[in-house]
Amino acid sequence: MVCDAWAEKLDAYLDGELPAAEARAFGEHLRGCAGCAAESLRRVQQKLAVRAAGRRFTPDAAFRARIQQSIAVRKPARWRRLWFPALAGATVLLVAALLPLSLHHGRRGDEQVLSELADLHVATLASANPVDVVSTDRHTVKPWFAGKIPFTFNLPELQDSPFTLVGAKVSYLHQSPGAELIFRVRQHQISVFIFQEQAVGDARPDDAVQTALSFNVRSWSHNGLRYFVIGDASGQDLDKLSELIKSAG
Amino acid sequence: MDVSAADLQPDSFEELAMPLFEQLYNFAHWLTQNRDEAEDLVQETYAKALKGFVSFQPGTNFRAWMYRILRNTFLTSRTGLKATMTMPLDAEEDGPELAVERETPETILFERSDRELLQGALDQLPVHFREILLLCEVEEMSYQEISVALSIPMGTVMSRLSRARRALREEIRKMQGAGAKA
């Protein structure tokens, strides 16, 4: 049973809203009053239970994309600056893909791979359904690939990082299936592609910093898999995400 | 989440507003109790907030401002009007606090109550109790933030919160009683 003197202030104390001096006084009182301590414990349990139960509804990625787009559409300058070059780039890539193969003979293999990945990344950004599995939970995303791609990989713990896992889908490079993981950092989306080495062929855009259509790219090999991190986020962001993925093994 | 005048550039709206997206959606869904209506509510909130961003007062709380827009939009919607027909008069709430309940810790065992039971109890609460509990416990807003978001005085925040918590305990007790009889 709560002491009358503190009954009305108990909630404010537990909500952190009691002035410092009163909070100290109540804290001291709690140490010697079993009734107030028991009631405090019960109310804290209620707060924690409501907090857990209250986090109930999650929007889907397509709705998020719609909202983001609706904000961008109302800002012509930003729209042109960010989206128009990306869409224009995608159009150029599409046209280039339809040109006779002879035009591509002079291109280096790694440039070709990076261009294709940039194309896949832009296509994902432009899609109304950018991912096939919508989840921020690595323990949901990784098993989702079981049976869909001929290899497995580890995903990093992102809890103390600025990155959020948005979701994933199966992607193809040179007709070989691989994983495309979508991460978010602030307002930037980053695609991480993972393919078997043979899918990349002779191209070796080795661990150097690369760019493709102005996107930043990071790339490395591990355990027979080739990783590509691509996006319009800063090079430092891509480095951080690459390190996190590498540390996951 | 106070916003300075320097942050108040048109381009910065997206950077400030999008990190709130998931929590605003969760709150909207709790209010409307329907996915489609929650999406409409969030969409309208973002449209209104973007339009009114130039009039946002620098130095004030952006999160509370967004929640106030969402909540006001909800109140003027058909679902909101229907849900708030049982809303109490604030003057009534500013009166002295009711006598403190004398439950024993054994009456309600929150540590053993499962999430679905609590969610069901929250669903049953009148919307003015549900919203203040969510803002305080889930969004971890201060009383001052809640006061801004719900456009009610601080005194009303405290008394309504107290009543909401009691109503939740009553609702759980009812549900546990019904479950025991079944």
Q: Taking CB atoms and an 8 Å limit, are B105 and A41 in contact across chains?
A: yes
Residue finishing a domain among B86, B102, B125: B86
Q: Taking CB atoms and an 8 Å limit, are A49 and B21 in contact across chains?
A: no
pLDDT at residue B163 is higher than 90: yes
Q: Are B9 and B80 contained in the same domain? A: yes
Q: Taking CB atoms and an 8 Å limit, are A54 and B43 in contact across chains?
A: no
Q: Are B79 and B102 contained in the same domain? A: no
* SS3 state at B75: helix
Domain that holds residue B169: 88-182
Q: Are B182 and B94 contained in the same domain? A: yes
| pLDDT, tens digit (0-9, with 9 covering 90-100), for A87-113 | 666 666 665 565 444 444 434 566 778
Phi, psi of A109 (to 5 degrees): -60, -40
Q: What is the mean pLDDT of chain A?
A: 81
- In angstroms, the CA A10 to CA B45 distance is 35
CATH of the domain at B165: 1.10.10.10
Strands (DSSP E) found in A149-202 = 163-173, 176-185, 188-196
Mutant choice from B12, B51, B111, B117 vs A, greatest count of A C-beta within 10 A:
B111
- In angstroms, the CA A244 to CA A163 distance is 10
Alpha helices (H) in chain A, listed in sequence order: 4-7, 10-14, 20-32, 34-54, 61-73, 76-98, 109-126, 138-144, 197-200, 235-248
pLDDT at residue B153 is higher than 60: yes
**A12 has a chain B CB within 8 A of its CB:** yes
Count how many domains chain B has: 2
Of B68, B69, B84, the residue nearest B32 (C-alpha): B84
User: If one looks up domain A61-248 in CATH, what number appears?
Assistant: 3.30.200.100
Confidence of residue A42 (pLDDT cuts 50, 70, 90): confident
- In angstroms, the CA A190 to CA A235 distance is 11
**B161 has a chain A CB within 8 A of its CB:** yes
Confidence of residue B115 (pLDDT cuts 50, 70, 90): confident
| Order of strands, sheet of A210-212, starting from the edge strand that comes earlier in the sequence | A133-134, A163-173, A176-185, A188-196, A225-231, A215-222, A210-212
Residue finishing a domain among B40, B61, B86: B86
| pLDDT, tens digit (0-9, with 9 covering 90-100), for A213-237 | 678 888 888 888 999 999 988 888 9
Confidence of residue B85 (pLDDT cuts 50, 70, 90): low
Q: Are B96 and B78 contained in the same domain? A: no
Residue type, position B64, single letter? A
* B118 vs A16, A43, A53: nearest CB: A53
Q: Please check whether residue A54 is in contact with residue B138, taking contact to mean a CB–CB distance below 8 angstroms.
A: yes
Confidence of residue A129 (pLDDT cuts 50, 70, 90): confident
**Confidence at residue B156, expressed as pLDDT on a 0 to 100 scale:** 94
Q: Are B74 and B47 contained in the same domain? A: yes
* ipTM metric: 0.83
* A74 vs B43, B50, B113: nearest CB: B50
Q: Are B63 and B109 contained in the same domain? A: no
- In angstroms, the CA A219 to CA A193 distance is 9
Residue finishing a domain among B38, B61, B86: B86
**Confidence at residue A104, expressed as pLDDT on a 0 to 100 scale:** 47
Q: Are B160 and B101 contained in the same domain? A: yes
**A59 has a chain B CB within 8 A of its CB:** yes
Confidence of residue B107 (pLDDT cuts 50, 70, 90): very low
Task: Give the pTM.
Answer: 0.56
CATH of the domain at B12: 1.10.1740.10
**Confidence at residue A113, expressed as pLDDT on a 0 to 100 scale:** 80
Q: Are B20 and B37 contained in the same domain? A: yes
Residue of A nearest to B118 (CA): A53
**In sequence order, what are the residues at sequence separation of 6 or more whose Cβ sits closer than 8 angstroms to the Cβ of residue A221?**
A197, A227
Q: Are B30 and B109 contained in the same domain? A: no
Q: Are B73 and B94 contained in the same domain? A: no
What's the rounded mean pLDDT across residues A72-101? 58
Q: Are B78 and B30 contained in the same domain? A: yes
**Confidence at residue B35, expressed as pLDDT on a 0 to 100 scale:** 94
Of A194, A188, A185, A200, the residue nearest A141 (C-alpha): A194
- In angstroms, the CA A195 to CA A114 distance is 13
| pLDDT, tens digit (0-9, with 9 covering 90-100), for B14-71 | 889 999 999 999 999 999 999 999 999 999 999 999 988 888 887 789 999 999 999 9
Q: Are B75 and B101 contained in the same domain? A: no
**B112 has a chain A CB within 8 A of its CB:** no
**B118 has a chain A CB within 8 A of its CB:** yes
Q: Taking CB atoms and an 8 Å limit, are A15 and B143 in contact across chains?
A: yes
